[in-house]
Amino acid sequence: IGGHPKGGDEPVRPAGVRSILAVASGKGGVGKSTVSSNLAVALAKQGRRVGLLDADIHGPSQPRMMGATGRPASPDGKIIEPLHAHGVTLMSIGLMLDPDKAVVWRGPMLMGALQQMMTQVNWGELDVLIVDLPPGTGDVQLTLCQKSAPTGALVVSTPQDVALLDARKAMDMFNTLKTPVLGLIENMSTFHCPECGHEAHIFGHGGVQAESEKLGIPFLGALPIDLDTRLAGDSGTPIAAGDSPMAQAYAQLADRLVQ
Ligand code: ADP
């Protein structure tokens, strides 16, 4: 990560933000938000100034995963003050919406909401702004890539064929939009039974690495199916905030990204 926006139209990028990292997936439920929040916390623990923008319009889960409650303040009605949790500056579309209402927005409204979160939120000085995208290849992805020129994208997938199939589409979209794919992450890779130590490959194993090799994209690592990861996300303190082996796995992932 690091670097500057590409040419073309003037990108809508907050003034103090050095780089934008998009976290994407083809399918929903593969752990894109979990990886985004843990990566944000791991980078912040390494002393980087990190922002997390939850742009998953249809399932904004970052406020819950990061344990951030309350509504962001806007004393002047224009600039929105973000929240702060676990050393990360946080803004989520979910903080502006009624959590029990479904979002039925058309493309232009989605574009407007994303631009607003980019330009009106007081992000301050950040080394990296992580954008947790909705799954798939829709208007939010298009707007982000075309208007804000992300430095790069990470694609999260499970090893399952149906997830990989959609992850390929997401990578194809980034190629078309000239956003470099910095790497692939296999999430929910293996399950180590805590009772007997048996290792099970519930969604398969190794598919994402094989795909990376085929496409010549860096493989950034495999994260296991881990009960504590799920519990930590649900409790609002990402596992990366602690010092368990999973926290170390996220620290390594952060290291690989900033190399
Ligand atoms: P997405 O953002 O791709 O929709 P989430 O990050 O919301 O996916 O994850 C979906 C569910 O799976 C959440 O309940 C989350 O806690 C859980 N989860 C994600 N990654 C893991 C993992 N490695 N091990 C166990 N549970 C996980």
Q: Report which DSSP code applies to 83.
A: E
Provide the pLDDT for residue 2. 44
Q: How far apart are CA 252 and CA 119, in angstroms?
A: 31
Residue 158, ligand 1, Cβ within 6 A: no
pLDDT tens, per residue, the chain with 259 residues: 544 444 445 667 888 999 999 999 999 999 999 999 999 999 999 999 999 999 988 888 999 999 998 888 888 888 999 999 999 999 998 887 777 777 777 777 878 888 889 999 999 999 999 999 999 988 899 999 999 999 999 999 999 888 888 889 999 999 999 999 999 999 999 999 888 989 999 888 888 999 899 989 999 999 999 999 999 999 999 999 999 999 999 999 999 988 6
Residue nearest to atom 6 of ligand 1 (CA): 31
**Please, what is the angle between helix 139-148 and helix 161-176, to 10°?**
40
Q: For 156, phi and psi rounded to 5 degrees?
A: -105, 135
Q: Is the sign of the CA dihedral 197, 208, 185, 220 positive or negative?
A: positive
Provide the pLDDT for residue 259. 67
In a domain, 9, yes or no: no
Q: How far is CA 257 from CA 1, 27, 122, 184, 185, in A?
A: 6, 23, 25, 11, 11
Provide the pLDDT for residue 242. 97
Residue 62, ligand 1, Cβ within 6 A: no
In a domain, 5, yes or no: no
Question: Could you tell me which residues are beta bridge partners of residue 258?
Answer: none
CATH of the domain at 68: 3.40.50.300
The length of the chain in residues reads: 259
Provide the pLDDT for residue 154. 97
Query: Closest Cα to residue 181, out of 24, 53, 26, 5?
Result: 24
Give me Rg for the CA atoms of the chain.
17
CB count, 10 Å around CB of 7? Answer: 7
Instruction: Detail the residues annotated as belonging to a binding site for ATP.
Output: 26-33
In a domain, 163, yes or no: yes
Domain that holds residue 149: 20-258
Query: Closest Cα to residue 32, out of 141, 120, 114?
Result: 141
In a domain, 4, yes or no: no
In a domain, 184, yes or no: yes
Provide the pLDDT for residue 6. 46
The tally of domains found in the chain comes to 1
Question: Could you tell me which residues are beta bridge partners of residue 192?
Answer: 199
> Do residues 220 and 257 lie in contact, with contact meaning Cβ atoms separated by under 8 Å?
yes
Helix (H, G, I), strand (E, B) or coil at 130: strand
* ipTM, interface predicted TM-score of the complex: 0.99
Which amino acid, one-letter code, is at 38?
N
In a domain, 13, yes or no: no
b/e per residue 153-162 (b: at least 16 CB within 10 A): bbbbbbbbee
Provide the pLDDT for residue 126. 97
Q: How far apart are CA 190 and CA 212, in angstroms?
A: 18
Gap from CA of 27 to ligand 1 centroid (Å): 12
Gap from CA of 34 to ligand 1 centroid (Å): 5
Residue 232, ligand 1, Cβ within 6 A: no
In a domain, 190, yes or no: yes
Residue 134, ligand 1, Cβ within 6 A: no
Residue 25, ligand 1, Cβ within 6 A: yes
In a domain, 6, yes or no: no
Residue nearest to atom 26 of ligand 1 (CA): 230
